[in-house]
A and B are shown apart, each in its own frame.
Chain A
Amino acid sequence: MSRKPPLLTGALELDLRGTVGGFPLRVALTAPAGRVTAVFGPSGSGKTSLLRAAAGLTRLSGFVRAGGAVWQDDTAGVFEAVHRRNIGFVFQDAALFPHLTVRENLRYAERRNDLAPDAAGPLSFDRVVEELGLSRHLARSPEGLSGGETQRVALARALLTGPSVLFLDEPLSALHLGARAAILRTLRQLAPEIGFAALHVTHDPGEVAAVADRIVLLAEGRVQAAGPAERIYERLDAGDRTARFEAGSLLVARMATPPDAGGIAEVDLGGERLRIPAPAGPPPGVGREVRVRVMARDVALARQRPEAVSIRNILAGEVVSVTPDRKPPDCEVVVAVAGSRLRARITDEAAQELELRPGLPIFAMLKSIAVEDP
């Protein structure tokens, strides 16, 4: 009956297969403890089915292990019921209980977490309420809450189960950017501190850039790529056959100088300096991680270091690959800069004129940088 100890235990490991929505799904993945793993893919790729099966809400064949416990192992005939798995689950529609107040919703989870940490523990009721800014809303009914408030309550409720794995099924898809930021920031901060593995399903590249330590790229029920976020991010559109959405690169830099009077801060990226608009909210301390996203269409290339140009961020690098795009007039160029990889989209004509080939020294000009700071 009692759940397994939750704190600072192992990763989530699973290998599941079955048929969902008329196509075969076969997914093996590992989500490390203390890290946020984003499961990214177009709609219909099986993301939600995978999450539900991992949580035990539905059943596929294979095995699921987490936090030192075996949740499912078909070879041994093991299938733990959902309520015996030490999980938190944030549904897309939040699924708050409408007959209970916000406080009662949270207490519902806390009471059933029978390894509740003591009152001063890392995930006490008061701590969770404070982290998610819910103290003013405790007496309210879920029905009166805004979308952002609703999902904050849902996340708080899931955290109060003291999960070893936290599942998030596109909980932010209906929220505006400001409301998302608060939730992503909490997730990003608490996962390493508490030690749970977070599996975050999304089809929003911005969310992935902001929160993911690792990315699992899913398409048509299969893993297309998996690994550290910086490495996989540039391939986010690989599984998407229909839309060339915002292809780009994710750079993880460190704060080098605090924002100046004009709101521009400098960050350090593998020894190179980038000038970026200061992240919203309280200025991050020097040395803190800052995630920036650069769209492929915002990167221009030059053979010589350009002078007297308006673009502020110019990085010296080396061409890694040149790939004709699926849309003919364009081609994709991957450039290694300062220990990271940048993706650029330029025209075929330009690529030929510059005589781009792997190994060629090149300067990348970043027209625009988006700071994805949760």
Chain B
Amino acid sequence: MIALPLVLPPTVLGFYLLIALGPDGPGGAVARLFGERSLAFSFPGLVIGSVIYSFPFTVQPIRSAFEAVGDRPLEAAATLGASPGDAFRTVALPLARPGLIAGAVLGFAHTVGEFGVILMIGGNIPGATRVLSIAIYDHVEALEWGTAHLLSAGLLVFSFLVVAWTLTLQKKRRRAPS
């Protein structure tokens, strides 16, 4: 179920989200509580859609990190008098930290690059739901190559920095204890 967004075409997911978030869907009902007509074509709607779409990219690394920690450290914590909640907080979470960071970074990067789902449920409204990746597409369509270059190069540098930062963080973690 969690893996579904991995294989589903983004436009299909976007289409169903559009219906769900629209005035007649459950999203619309929630929106009315806040005095809005619909969650589609709004920033909160974009956030909800992105969370669903990027979920597997965040969950997978976190899950493998917890699997890699295994039972033994938690057993040891229990024999030292730590309750399950205590052991999770003080042993499992810190040991899974690289996976948590990797999940956050992957989820963020994936969301920044998202196109299809965003276009379907956001509608590319300037100032409200226009995101970077769609803006680049618009500029290319309008033959404004200069602006497209600027934004693309900006994203390139940004992505490079994120990758570099994650790597140093993991390396530092591996070396830090000794």
Give chain A's interface residues, CB within 8 Å of chain B.
3, 55, 57, 81-83, 87-89, 91, 93, 95-99, 101, 108-109, 112-114, 140-144, 157-158, 161, 167
Q: Which residue of B lies closest to A89 (CB)?
A: B79
How far is it, in angstroms, between the C-alpha of A259 and the C-alpha of B142 when the chains are bound?
98
Neighbour of B177 across the interface among A57, A88, A99, A161, CB < 8 A? A99
B71 to chain A minimum Cβ distance, whole angstroms, is 9
Instruction: Give the most central of A87, A88, A99: most B CB within 10 Å.
Output: A99
Whether A158 contacts B79 by the Cβ 8 Å rule is yes
B46 to chain A minimum Cβ distance, whole angstroms, is 37
| Chain A residues whose CB sits within 8 angstroms of the CB of B76 once the complex forms | 89, 91, 95-97
Neighbour of A99 across the interface among B72, B82, B87, B95, CB < 8 A? B95
Whether A141 contacts B177 by the Cβ 8 Å rule is yes
| Chain B residues whose CB sits within 8 angstroms of the CB of A91 once the complex forms | 72, 75-76
B80 part of interface (Cβ distance < 8 Å): yes
Number of residue pairs spanning A and B whose beta carbons lie under 8 angstroms apart:
74
Whether A57 contacts B75 by the Cβ 8 Å rule is yes
B76 to chain A minimum Cβ distance, whole angstroms, is 4
Neighbour of A108 across the interface among B84, B90, B178, CB < 8 A? B90
B169 to chain A minimum Cβ distance, whole angstroms, is 14
Neighbour of A112 across the interface among B73, B80, B84, B94, CB < 8 A? B80
How far is it, in angstroms, between the C-alpha of A68 and the C-alpha of B83 when the chains are bound?
22
A144 to chain B minimum Cβ distance, whole angstroms, is 5
Whether A109 contacts B80 by the Cβ 8 Å rule is yes
Beyond A99-B95, A140-B178, A143-B178, whether A82 also contacts B72 by CB under 8 A is: no
| Chain A residues whose CB sits within 8 angstroms of the CB of B86 once the complex forms | 83, 112
Whether A55 contacts B177 by the Cβ 8 Å rule is no
Beyond A3-B81, A97-B91, A99-B94, whether A82 also contacts B177 by CB under 8 A is: no
B78 part of interface (Cβ distance < 8 Å): yes
| Chain A residues whose CB sits within 8 angstroms of the CB of B81 once the complex forms | 3, 83, 109, 112-114, 161
Instruction: Give the most central of B82, B84, B95: most A CB within 10 Å.
Output: B82
A82 to chain B minimum Cβ distance, whole angstroms, is 4
| Chain B residues whose CB sits within 8 angstroms of the CB of A101 once the complex forms | 177
Beyond A57-B78, A88-B79, whether A95 also contacts B72 by CB under 8 A is: yes
B57 to chain A minimum Cβ distance, whole angstroms, is 25
B92 to chain A minimum Cβ distance, whole angstroms, is 11
Whether B178 contacts A82 by the Cβ 8 Å rule is no
B138 to chain A minimum Cβ distance, whole angstroms, is 47
| Chain B residues whose CB sits within 8 angstroms of the CB of A99 once the complex forms | 91, 94-95, 97, 177
How far is it, in angstroms, between the C-alpha of A167 and the C-alpha of B79 when the chains are bound?
10
Instruction: Give the most central of B72, B78, B84, B95: most A CB within 10 Å.
Output: B78
Whether A97 contacts B73 by the Cβ 8 Å rule is yes
Instruction: Give the most central of B73, B78, B79, B97: most A CB within 10 Å.
Output: B79
| Chain A residues whose CB sits within 8 angstroms of the CB of B72 once the complex forms | 91, 93, 95
Instruction: Give the most central of B76, B87, B177: most A CB within 10 Å.
Output: B76
Whether B78 contacts A161 by the Cβ 8 Å rule is no
Beyond A83-B81, A93-B72, whether A98 also contacts B95 by CB under 8 A is: yes
B159 to chain A minimum Cβ distance, whole angstroms, is 29
Neighbour of A83 across the interface among B82, B91, B177, CB < 8 A? B82
Chain B, 121-178, CB within 8 A of any chain A CB: 177-178
| Chain B residues whose CB sits within 8 angstroms of the CB of A89 once the complex forms | 75-76, 79
